[in-house]
Chain A
Amino acid sequence: MILRAAGLLAGLLIGQVALAQGQPEALSLLGRAVSASQKTSYVGTFVYQSGASVETSRIAHYVDTEGNSIERLEVLDGSPREVIRVNDDVRCYLPKEKMIIEDRRGTRKTFPSLLPEAVAALGDFYTVRKGAPVRVAGFDTQTVMLEPKDGFRYGHMFWIESQSGLLMKARMVNEKGEPIEQFAFAQLQIGPPLTRDDVQSRLAASATGWKVHAANSTQAQNADLGWTVNADVPGFRQIAGMRRSLGPDRQDMVHMVFSDGLAAISVFIEPYRKDDGNQVGPMKHGAVNVFKRRVAGFVVTALGEVPAHSVQRMAEAVGPKR
């Protein structure tokens, strides 16, 4: 599978890529960033900007001797929210709401989720090129730019540290060329001596009695989910489909993911309940656009880091399988 994708990419490189000089190097840099983010221990402070909001977070990534990847993020502004990731299992502690959001998959990724076949397709929907080297937080970085070829996706820029391959800064740009979201390290230490304690939750002990909001997947890929999405949002192909358990007294939720190789749109379908309210239509959470609608007795929500009309189109194409 991977090799066939590689073959496809080879075809792409040979046939198409002259459009963008430096595309192979740019794609290779993205591949390095994926691998570095999983294999490199680091600790640092980064700034997240979205709309008018700016938040600083501390982050530590520890790779143990067995290759387990454990990460801790603590938001330093406002309420001290914390995210702990152990391989693919994520727990978010939200002290203000006294809530834990849990996403467990129980399996380890065997290869990065930036899939080769998706990387191969990147060139169809983005012009990928390497930019000039610049310094970020004291490190020399290489830049990779992905310019969208249509209005269904945003532009992306990545600053990748030259030695380690770590992603130092990422920016998303809207159709007007305006930055709408940015992650940037302000300070970073690569390969520091860390222990398991450095990535241990500080909130878990005091989180007893908090509401746990879990929607853990119960079913693997490609099962018949009973729903179809007949949307032509160019480039977005289904990359995952699963049922998620919402608890013993509720029907499972359906979650489908569509991606163009870089951006993703999720479609969630769950039975309508009175306390869900009647809010439908377009919404926004930072740089993430959301579109909600009712279909029969269900609530369909499409969301993703894409323009509003892309999620709307996806949401409107959802229907029960006949």
Chain B
Amino acid sequence: MKENLSAFIDNELDERTSQQVLDRLHADGDLRDEFALQVLIGDLLRGEQRHFDDGFTASVMSRLEDEPTVLAPVALRVQPEAKRLWMPAAAAVAGVALVSWLGLDLMSAPSEQLAVVPVAAPAVVQVAQTDSPLRAYLVAHQAYSPAGSMQGVALYARGVSDPQTDERR
């Protein structure tokens, strides 16, 4: 019934099945809660409601408590993903990435807001010339970068950045 609920919200069911969902909604309080939750999440994602209130969080959390066993299959699902990594090295990198991230106490250093962030040594690859086709590619790419939808035009600083700016100072 839960799958039908999603399809019902999307208006993808035929009339008969829709009616069945409606009937169940009338009869089943839990299903009504589920319906409300799904609609609420849809609203949140579309930015139509600004905050998760405590009641919502509590309802999600209590739902989690109701379904404790769900965690096990999820944990198992991560394994085949790691095995599928193409390069064995990548798997190692993945482990390192997580460990080093966790080890990085980013929140403890608020004073470095405007200080120069310690930067990674440049990797040993050819530096792309600031050629016009590549820059045009970058600009075209930026428009589709999901992170860009939070940053707006600021993200284009990347495309127009000039690696030589600092050298000339």
Contacts and interface: CB of A to CB of B under 8 A. Distances in A.
A287 B158 contact: yes
Given A6-B39, A116-B46, A305-B145, A19 B71 contact: yes
Contacts of B144: 113, 239-240, 257, 259, 264, 266
B123 A284 contact: yes
A46 B86 contact: no
Interface residues on A, range: 35 or more
A71 B157 CA distance: 13
A271 interface: no
Q: Is the interface of B mostly helix, strand, loop or mixed?
A: helix
Contacts of B168: 78
Interface in B81-95: 81-82, 84-87, 90-94
Contact of B136 (A101, A113, A148, A158): A101
Given A48-B161, A151-B85, A213-B132, A92 B139 contact: yes
Interface string B9-29: 110100000000000000000
Contacts of A59: 153-154
A288 B96 CA distance: 21
A81 B162 contact: yes
Contact of B146 (A158, A176, A262, A279): A262
Pick the most buried of A10, A31, A59, A289: most chain B CB atoms within 10 A of its CB.
A10
Contacts of A186: 114
A103 B113 CA distance: 33
Interface in A139-191: 143, 145, 147-152, 155-158, 165, 167, 169-171, 173-184, 186
A285 B38 contact: no
Contacts of A10: 6, 34, 37-38, 41
Contact of B122 (A51, A165, A313): A51
Nearest to A118: B146
Interface residues on B, range: 35 or more
A215 B78 CA distance: 40
B127 interface: yes
Contacts of B104: 173, 177
Contacts of A50: 158, 161
Nearest to A78: B165
Contacts of B164: 78
Contact of B153 (A9, A25, A83, A284): A83
B128 interface: yes
A232 B158 contact: no
Contacts of A5: 42, 45
A282 B157 CA distance: 22
B165 A55 contact: yes
B107 A115 contact: no
A7 B137 CA distance: 35
Interface in B132-159: 132-159
Given A1-B10, A13-B60, A111 B163 contact: no
A30 B42 contact: no
Contacts of B143: 88, 90, 103, 105
Given A81-B162, A268-B137, 4 more contacts: A177-B100, A240-B144, A244-B140, A283-B128
Interface of A: 1-11, 13-19, 24-25, 28, 30-35, 37-38, 46-55, 57, 59, 61, 69, 71-73, 75, 77-79, 81, 83, 85, 88, 90, 92, 94, 96-97, 99, 101, 103, 105, 111-116, 118-119, 131-132, 134-137, 143, 145, 147-152, 155-158, 165, 167, 169-171, 173-184, 186, 211, 213-215, 232, 234, 239-240, 244, 255, 257, 259, 261-264, 266, 268, 276, 279, 281-290, 301, 303-305, 307-309, 313
Interface of B: 2, 5-7, 9-10, 12, 34, 37-39, 41-42, 44-47, 50-52, 56-57, 60, 63-64, 67, 70-71, 74, 78, 81-82, 84-87, 90-94, 96-98, 100-104, 106-107, 110, 113-114, 116-120, 122-123, 125-130, 132-166, 168
